[in-house]
A = this chain, B = another copy of it.
């Protein structure tokens, strides 16, 4: 069994931001020399999501807008979590809706994807560098 474990760093200058990590993950699959196996890609932060969807900026705005309806940032007093001094109660909820991680098949040494699948990191409480964990196992 071959394995590879790597952390990716992602710059998140804004509070909420969706950033492609697709090429970085593809490079790690190549580096791992795993031909047949699976890859786990997860946010290491609990206000963030790794997800797979379309590389289309309008859609990313739709995610932002809809998540803000489902779990609004303001008023921050609506979240008990914010009594701890945080203002990111909404971000912990948004992350649950979008998911923490993805697991993807590796076949023939590549991400085994449908035609439009792309991997993104979505952060809902950013304004600093964040980490993504990549683990590949296979042979």
- Pick from B40, B45, B89: contact of A116, CB below 8 A: B45
Interface residues on A, range: 35 or more
Please give, as numbers and ranges, the residues of chain B lying within 8 Å of A93 by CB-CB distance.
62-63, 66
Q: Which stretch in A9-17, A19-27, A76-84 binds the other chain?
A: A76-84
- Any B CB within 8 A of the CB of A37: yes
Identify the interface centre among A46, A61, A102, A133: most chain B CB within 10 Å of its CB: A46
Q: Is the CB of B5 within 8 A of A62?
A: no
Knowing A38-B40, A133-B112 touch, does A5 contact B46 (C-beta < 8 A)?
no
Say yes or no: A46 contacts B116, CB within 8 Å. yes
Q: Residue of B at shortest CB range from A105?
A: B135
In the bound assembly, the distance between CA atoms of A3 and B40 in angstroms comes to 17
Q: Is the CB of B58 within 8 A of A80?
A: yes
- Whether B81 pairs with A62 at a CB distance below 8 angstroms is yes
Q: Which residues of B contact A101 (CB under 8 A)?
A: 102-103
CA distance A44 to B139 in the complex (A): 23
Q: How far is the CB of A110 from chain B (nearest CB, A)?
A: 12
Q: B-contacting residues of A (Cβ < 8 Å)?
A: 1, 3, 5, 36-38, 40, 42-46, 51-54, 56, 58-59, 61-63, 66, 70-71, 79-84, 89, 92-93, 95-105, 107, 112-114, 116-117, 131, 133, 135, 137-139
